[in-house]
C-alpha cells in the first residue's frame, strides 16, 4: 500500500485546515495518509512515505520561520526520488500583487524549490490558498479545492 505524509505549519489554523482537506482527498484513493504538524513529525519517518506534501503560511513572502528551519533539517535525510507537493496560504492584497512583479509572494515556491534541490519528483506544481486577513477566514471553496487536489494526487500515486 502506498503511503503519503502531509506536513504543515499553521499559526491560526488555516494551513492546517487545507492540509487536512488534502489528506482526506488522498486517503479516498486508498492510500495510507499521515497528516501532522512539522512539530509532531519524527524526521526519520519521513523517507518511509512515497509522497511528502508540505504546506506553510506565507510570512514576508516566504515560508514561516518555523517552516524554514524545518526545511533545512530535510537536508539530513534522503528524499531523492520521492514524490513531493507544496502548498501555502497567503493574503491577496494590492501590495502583494505589486510585489509579485519582483518576487513571488508564496511560501510554496520556496518549499517546492527545496524539494527540487533534494531531487524529489514534483507530482503537481505548487498551489496557494487565499486567506482573508491575517487570521482568516479561508477563501470560500478552499477546502473543496484541496480535497480535489488530494484526489488528483492520489490518482497519480496509485497509477
Ligand X SMILES: Cc1cc2nc3c(=O)[nH]c(=O)nc-3n(C[C@H](O)[C@H](O)[C@H](O)COP(=O)(O)O)c2cc1C
Residues found near ligand X in the complex (CB under 6 A) = 10-15, 57-61, 89-91, 96, 105, 131, 134, 136
What's 139's DSSP letter? Answer: P
Which residue number, 58 or 110, has a Cβ lying nearer to ligand X?
58
**Nearest-approach distance from CB 7 to ligand X, in angstroms:** 13
Nearer to ligand X (CB atom), residue 14 or residue 86: 14
Residue for grid cell 535525510: 77
Determine the distance from the C-alpha atom of residue 19 to the mean position of all C-alpha atoms in its chain, rounded to a whole number. 7
C-beta closer to ligand X: residue 47 or 136: 136
**CA distance readout (Å), 126 to 40, 54, 78, 102:** 23, 10, 21, 19
| Least distance in angstroms from the C-beta of 118 to ligand X | 24
**Is residue 8 classed exposed, middle or buried when 0-12, 13-18 and 19+ CB atoms within 10 A define those classes?**
buried
Least CB distance to ligand X at residue 13 (A): 5
Closer to ligand X at the Cβ: 21 or 105?
105
Cα–Cα distance, 137 to 17 (Å, whole number): 11
Of 109 and 147, CB closest to ligand X: 109
Q: What are the Cα distances from residue 144, in Å, to 24, 32, 102, 147?
A: 10, 20, 31, 5
Output the smallest distance, CB 41 to ligand X, in A: 17
Smallest distance from the beta carbon of 145 to ligand X, in angstroms? 15
Amino acid at each position: 500500500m502506498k503511503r503519503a505524509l502531509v506536513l504543515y505549519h499553521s499559526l491560526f489554523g488555516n494551513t492546517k485546515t487545507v492540509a487536512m482537506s488534502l489528506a482526506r482527498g488522498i486517503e479516498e484513493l486508498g492510500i495510507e495518509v499521515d497528516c501532522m504538524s512539522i512539530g509532531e513529525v519524527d524526521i526519520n519517518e519521513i523517507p518511509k512515505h512515497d509522497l511528502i506534501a508540505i504546506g506553510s503560511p506565507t510570512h514576508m513572502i516566504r515560508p514561516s520561520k518555523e517552516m524554514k528551519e524545518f526545511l533545512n533539517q530535510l537536508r539530513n535525510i534522503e528524499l531523492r526520488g520521492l514524490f513531493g507537493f507544496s502548498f501555502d496560504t497567503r493574503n491577496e492584497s494590492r501590495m502583494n500583487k505589486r510585489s509579485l512583479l519582483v518576487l513571488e509572494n508564496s511560501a510554496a515556491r520556496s518549499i517546492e524549490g527545496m524539494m527540487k534541490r533534494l531531487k524529489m519528483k514534483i507530482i503537481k506544481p505548487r498551489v496557494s490558498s487565499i486567506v482573508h486577513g491575517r487570521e482568516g477566514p479561508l477563501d470560500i471553496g478552499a477546502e473543496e479545492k484541496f480535497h480535489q487536489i488530494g484526489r488528483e494526487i492520489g490518482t497519480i500515486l496509485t497509477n
